[in-house]
Amino acid sequence: MEHIRLPKVTVLHSLVCSVDKLAATPSGCPLLIHCKNFQVLHFIISKEQECHDIHLSLQRLSQPESYDELYCFAYKPNVDEKERRQEWDFLDLKADYSRMGLPNSLWKLSPVNQHYKVSDTYPADLFVPESATPPVIVGSSKFRSRGRFPALSYYCKDNHAAICRSSQPLSGFSARCLEDEQMLEAILRSNPRSDFMYVVDTRPKLNAIANRAAGKGYENEDNYSNIKFQFVGIENIHVMRNSQQKMLEVCELRSPSMSDFLEGLESSGWMKHIKAVLDAGIFIAKAVAEEGTSVLVHCSDGWDRTSQVCSVACVLLDPYYRTLRGFMVLIEKDWVSFGHRFSHRCKHLVGDPKEVSPIIDQLLECVWQLMEQFPCAFEFNERFLIAIHNHVYSCQFGNFIGNNQRERIELRVHERTHSLWSYLWANRTDYTNPLYRPNHSQTQGLLRASTSPYSFKFWKGLYNRFDHGMHPRQSVEDYLRAIQEETQQLEEQLTSHTQVGQGYADQPQA
């Protein structure tokens, strides 16, 4: 009997999302594996007992119970200890704040959260208004969910407008806090060119009102001077999880009709949610760039929707965050440092399935949608975003392990694991956009993005990345890169020939 050689498939067990054993067939026992990077694998195991054993093994391996079981703590590339330490020094968040012109006479680096004694989910180093005293900061933290008081995310040194972030206030129906009111007043005074500031609640208004019954909620405009309140209506993690699942079911349809695909995509609501995140980011970016107004952003706990819209606003506002290194800094600042719950949301460990949600997926898709609208404005390409997505879930690197900075210190992540950012930087030629034109007028300053329905595309490069029949054999990007390389070689040859010819011309005549 002739054996058929099948292609080898390698999947990290940390990327396995679910393993389902299907009903036996005459050819064997089917095993269906869904991966977090949207790969779907079908196996036929000849013997039922073997299928049962493989099923149990994969379930156990894909649901570790402790951080020490994750791949990053066993991953040992061929680098010495000095190189490993240098990996973690590759990005410097203080340098990014310095690039913004901080600290200055309006904003200071506060030591109030050293040792995470005020908020255990915030970074240790935070910028706050110069006039905000420790008692005001601590008082504000006691009036905010999880102690996440208003802190600086982005500062525009050209007009002094700032983007700050926090969690929801514990206001209930009537509670107020003098220190929290003083904190917002300090943020307002830190922008001498504006006499008001926006408070953007990223939740639907009904959700925020419902939270009031639990003693939480949103700011009462009567208690805070000179604020303008804005709801932007981004749904919660549970809605997003269900929406993506419905969208992925559409992606897995075999030979769907046009109506099946479009109706399924529409009923999932996925594109509507992407639009909501982009709309919020656009509102904040315009407030900063066009009105010169500071903005405080929050959701419930301030680590999901808040991270999304602050990041989108920064990408729209600042060309630096549209570079390879700048986007790494942005993820490190607004997601890793500010306590997005990566391990809960990405199901790194066995736990409550209701905590899982594709929040980082949505941020990456928002950026991809912007790249489609502004193809010359981004130094990085689609592969870069997909690589980040893959490694958020793979647990190969330590950057996204844990749910906040304090947990990573306790796990000694910098001492025991490797950093993704230096790896991506070392391979940056694979992730560079050949269309990038940093000095073009349309790529400078604020990107004026559209969220009209016809501006959106389905991201098959991510959600159907393993369906090779959907993708061209050579992408336009690869073709452009090949032309660039050929052009560079021809220019070098021309320069060489010109120099040789000049040498002959300079020789004395006989």
Hey, which residues are catalytic here?
Answer: 299
**One-letter amino acid identity for 342?**
F
233 is in an annotated binding site: no
CA distance 301 to 80: 40
Distance of CA 473 to the CA centre of its chain: 29
Phi, psi torsion values for 27, nearest 5 degrees: -90, -10
Decide: residue 492, CB within 10 A, 0-12 exposed, 13-18 middle, 19+ buried: exposed
Spatial CB neighbours of 347, under 8 Å, sequence gap ≥ 6: 17, 36, 353, 356
Radius of gyration of the chain (CA): 26
The sheet with strand 40-45 has its strands ordered as 16-21, 29-35, 40-45
Cβ-contact 70, 391 below 8 angstroms? no
171 is in an annotated binding site: no
CA distance 400 to 138: 28
Cβ-contact 20, 8 below 8 angstroms? no
302 is in an annotated binding site: yes
Q: How far is CA 253 from CA 121, 123, 257, 460, in A?
A: 41, 43, 9, 13
Give the three-class secondary structure for 112. Answer: coil
Phi, psi torsion values for 432, nearest 5 degrees: -95, 135
Phi, psi torsion values for 165, nearest 5 degrees: -140, 155
∠440-446-451 over CA atoms, to 5°? 110
305 is in an annotated binding site: yes
382-394 vs 359-373: helix axis angle to the nearest 10?
170
Residue 229: its H or E element: strand 227-231
Closest CA to 399 of 348, 352, 323: 348
**One-letter amino acid identity for 371?**
M
Cβ-contact 196, 228 below 8 angstroms? yes
* DSSP of 143-210: TBGGG---EEEEE-TTT--EEEEE--B--TTT---HHHHHHHHHHHHT-TT-S-EEEEE-S-HHHHHH
Q: How far is CA 505 from CA 492, 508, 510, in A?
A: 20, 8, 12
303 is in an annotated binding site: yes
299 is in an annotated binding site: yes
242 is in an annotated binding site: no
193 is in an annotated binding site: no
Q: 43-67 burial string, b = 16+ CB within 10 Å, else e?
A: eebeeeeebeebbeebeeebbbeeb
Binding residues for substrate: 236-237, 299-305
